[in-house]
A and B are shown apart, each in its own frame.
Chain A
């Protein structure tokens, strides 16, 4: 492989891998606290993209119950420059976070209160995903919505440079994705590692029983976890949506599944694991040769299967000692 090709693949892989990472962080946070996998996370991802789109564009064309409603007759205040777009993205992600909190209240908390089988929580969260996905379809239809090209105003179109006679192209969107993901990871790392909230979260993840004895309100921190999880999922949705367009209500399904591969690869419940897993899968996909690109979607699952056989606790997970 030529150097220019190698660098191009690396850049593509890092960009998509960093989105996988922040998306998967949402999964793994919930898993580390509750020990369950929230299958509605992919639907929250989709919602994040739609919320931001609504703020930036203000209306949905085509069909669905919301057709023809125009939120901003004088043009959206959230479009036109990068900062306005960033604000819309943050609001969209925050609303997705609120939805995640609602999911926990409606679908998970009642179950925890009964001490139900965690498998049922899985079915319940799938039911929620079904509801969200079909509501989206009812409200705004199944169309692909593309963020308008001027959504974030005048940003230099792309970075490109010559290398060994070939051009390496970095799309602006890729730079934004990479930058935002990096910032998010830094912020999250700071919150979890250095702040009091983070300390409490880690305590709850370690042992909810002990944490509640120490005066930590476990339920409150579960809500915070779900908000963070939804925020990260929604943010990832907007980032991917900006890069590829929001491809209908089922937009998040593939990401939901790949996110699973990411967190298992890195180690279920491990935060650095989610980052490593995301980057590994993003890079692995970027390096699939063009002739085999049809098999790209299988890469994540092949890696997942392999890692489970070789090292079930994942790359950075802790092996759990079996109790006899």
Chain B
């Protein structure tokens, strides 16, 4: 068992972490908002934890708190990402569809360039020598952090879905104008969904900084945005298990293909192409089976035009 954990522990934790990041994108998607901002918040959360755990300015705090500094770093990351989520979300969520996606890509890229140039984030080198959480000896022990977080998030997501808030999210996803007309304030719920995703990504980042031991601008990039989007879409965007399954599977694919050596990333790309062609409902959607995908709203020969380019005032 210990051998198994020593060998695959890192991978298992990474799979869970990927599932969590997938869920952070899933929340805004529940409210119909395609946000690719998750890696940005993930990076910010990681930086918050890394700074708190290594910066000389917080030495006194660390010494007086002991291990309690780790939960504090999650809390700080959650708070900062929550506030940042509101600040970015309120203006950005005026946009829809591909425009929101592009705005969030811009947000992630700006964050990346800024963190690459600030002194406090360690510039291009980043922050290294981040102490292990609770003095963990092995990387697999991080499953004790990421595992419960995943469970809590799934429970939370389920409760949200069954609640009034979840119904409001779905109403906005299906038809924002109709939802608005029925008295569901779209902006408030869209920002809420966006902030939930931001907070989650931030906490995952704060847990990942000690896990990875080092944190730099490579953590939050456009590539990560896309990878996370692929987790959700390939896994299935209509079920809480979709992002988890997609995240775990797509993170595992390059590992499973390791025997293909140099060809594995090529195959990984092909997997994305084939999966998006043949599993339009995602893996979980396909497993649920039976339900035929909803017929396209427009005849297939007509391309889907991105709807509503910004709100008319």
| A and B associate | yes
Enumerate chain A residues within 8 angstroms of B299, measured Cβ to Cβ: 115, 209
User: Is A312 positioned at the interface, with any CB of B under 8 Å from its CB?
Assistant: yes
User: Is A110 positioned at the interface, with any CB of B under 8 Å from its CB?
Assistant: yes
**Is the Cβ of B105 less than 8 Å from the Cβ of A312?**
no
**Is the Cβ of B306 less than 8 Å from the Cβ of A268?**
yes
- A131/B110 contact (C-beta < 8 A), A308-B102, A309-B94, A312-B309 known: no
**Is the Cβ of B266 less than 8 Å from the Cβ of A257?**
no
Enumerate chain A residues within 8 angstroms of B103, measured Cβ to Cβ: 304-305, 308
In the complex, what distance in Å separates the CA atom of A258 from the CA atom of B222?
A: 12
Partner of A124, one of B114, B268, B272: B272
**Is the Cβ of B273 less than 8 Å from the Cβ of A127?**
yes
Binds A, one of B55-63, B126-134, B225-233: B225-233
**Is the Cβ of A35 less than 8 Å from the Cβ of B303?**
yes
User: Is A6 positioned at the interface, with any CB of B under 8 Å from its CB?
Assistant: no
Partner of B269, one of A112, A119, A131, A313: A131
Enumerate chain B residues within 8 angstroms of A319, measured Cβ to Cβ: 309-310, 312
- A322/B177 contact (C-beta < 8 A), A33-B303, A212-B301 known: yes
Please give the distance in Å from A235's CB to the nearest CB on chain B: 24
Please give the distance in Å from B299's CB to the nearest CB on chain A: 7
In the complex, what distance in Å separates the CA atom of A209 from the CA atom of B303?
A: 9
Enumerate chain B residues within 8 angstroms of A208, measured Cβ to Cβ: 301-303
In the complex, what distance in Å separates the CA atom of A324 from the CA atom of B311?
A: 12
User: Is A134 positioned at the interface, with any CB of B under 8 Å from its CB?
Assistant: yes
Partner of B95, one of A116, A257, A301, A312: A312
Enumerate chain A residues within 8 angstroms of B306, measured Cβ to Cβ: 35, 118, 268
- A126/B105 contact (C-beta < 8 A), A120-B276, A312-B310, A320-B308 known: no
User: Is A106 positioned at the interface, with any CB of B under 8 Å from its CB?
Assistant: yes
Binds B, one of A18-26, A75-83, A273-281, A290-298: A290-298
Enumerate chain B residues within 8 angstroms of A111, measured Cβ to Cβ: 276-277
- A127/B272 contact (C-beta < 8 A), A113-B300, A298-B113, A312-B99 known: yes
The residue of chain A having its C-beta at the shortest distance from the C-beta of B91 within the complex is A309
**Is the Cβ of B273 less than 8 Å from the Cβ of A107?**
yes
**Is the Cβ of B308 less than 8 Å from the Cβ of A115?**
no
In the complex, what distance in Å separates the CA atom of A130 from the CA atom of B253?
A: 14
- A35/B95 contact (C-beta < 8 A), A209-B299, A257-B105 known: no
User: Is B164 positioned at the interface, with any CB of A under 8 Å from its CB?
Assistant: no
**Is the Cβ of B296 less than 8 Å from the Cβ of A305?**
no
User: Is A123 positioned at the interface, with any CB of B under 8 Å from its CB?
Assistant: yes
**Is the Cβ of B272 less than 8 Å from the Cβ of A123?**
yes
The residue of chain B having its C-beta at the shortest distance from the C-beta of A130 within the complex is B269
User: Is B87 positioned at the interface, with any CB of A under 8 Å from its CB?
Assistant: no
In the complex, what distance in Å separates the CA atom of A136 from the CA atom of B92?
A: 36
In the complex, what distance in Å separates the CA atom of A308 from the CA atom of B270?
A: 33
User: Is A321 positioned at the interface, with any CB of B under 8 Å from its CB?
Assistant: yes
Please give the distance in Å from A248's CB to the nearest CB on chain B: 14
User: Is B298 positioned at the interface, with any CB of A under 8 Å from its CB?
Assistant: yes
Enumerate chain A residues within 8 angstroms of B263, measured Cβ to Cβ: 138
User: Is B305 positioned at the interface, with any CB of A under 8 Å from its CB?
Assistant: yes
In the complex, what distance in Å separates the CA atom of A122 from the CA atom of B237?
A: 15
For window 60-106 of B, CB contacts with A under 8 Å fall at: 91-92, 94-95, 98-99, 102-103, 105-106
In the complex, what distance in Å separates the CA atom of A39 from the CA atom of B262?
A: 23
In the complex, what distance in Å separates the CA atom of A324 from the CA atom of B113?
A: 40
User: Is B34 positioned at the interface, with any CB of A under 8 Å from its CB?
Assistant: yes
- A305/B107 contact (C-beta < 8 A), A35-B305, A208-B303, A320-B309 known: yes
**Is the Cβ of B303 less than 8 Å from the Cβ of A112?**
yes
The residue of chain B having its C-beta at the shortest distance from the C-beta of A263 within the complex is B102
User: Is B147 positioned at the interface, with any CB of A under 8 Å from its CB?
Assistant: no
**Is the Cβ of A34 less than 8 Å from the Cβ of B303?**
yes
The residue of chain B having its C-beta at the shortest distance from the C-beta of A110 within the complex is B277
In the complex, what distance in Å separates the CA atom of A298 from the CA atom of B114?
A: 8
**Is the Cβ of B298 less than 8 Å from the Cβ of A134?**
no
The residue of chain B having its C-beta at the shortest distance from the C-beta of A297 within the complex is B113
Enumerate chain A residues within 8 angstroms of B300, measured Cβ to Cβ: 112-115
In the complex, what distance in Å separates the CA atom of A15 from the CA atom of B102?
A: 25
In the complex, what distance in Å separates the CA atom of A209 from the CA atom of B94?
A: 30
For window 224-282 of B, CB contacts with A under 8 Å fall at: 226, 229-230, 233-234, 262-263, 265-266, 268-273, 275-277, 280
**Is the Cβ of B229 less than 8 Å from the Cβ of A123?**
yes
**Is the Cβ of B265 less than 8 Å from the Cβ of A304?**
no
User: Is A135 positioned at the interface, with any CB of B under 8 Å from its CB?
Assistant: yes
The residue of chain A having its C-beta at the shortest distance from the C-beta of B310 within the complex is A312
Enumerate chain A residues within 8 angstroms of B310, measured Cβ to Cβ: 308, 311-313, 319
Partner of A123, one of B276, B303, B308: B276
Please give the distance in Å from A131's CB to the nearest CB on chain B: 4
**Is the Cβ of B280 less than 8 Å from the Cβ of A117?**
yes
Partner of B272, one of A110, A116, A126, A209: A126
**Is the Cβ of B266 less than 8 Å from the Cβ of A138?**
yes
B contact set with A: CB distance below 8 Å: 34, 91-92, 94-95, 98-99, 102-103, 105-107, 109-110, 113-114, 116-117, 177, 222, 226, 229-230, 233-234, 262-263, 265-266, 268-273, 275-277, 280, 295-296, 298-306, 308-312
A contact set with B: CB distance below 8 Å: 33-37, 39, 106-107, 110-124, 126-132, 134-135, 137-138, 207-209, 212, 218, 253, 257, 260-261, 264, 268, 294-295, 297-298, 301-302, 304-305, 308-309, 311-313, 317, 319-322, 324
User: Contacts A126-B272, A128-B273, A304-B106 given; 14 further ones with Cβ under 8 A?
Assistant: A117-B280, A120-B277, A123-B229, A123-B234, A123-B272, A124-B272, A124-B277, A127-B272, A130-B272, A268-B98, A298-B114, A308-B92, A308-B99, A322-B312
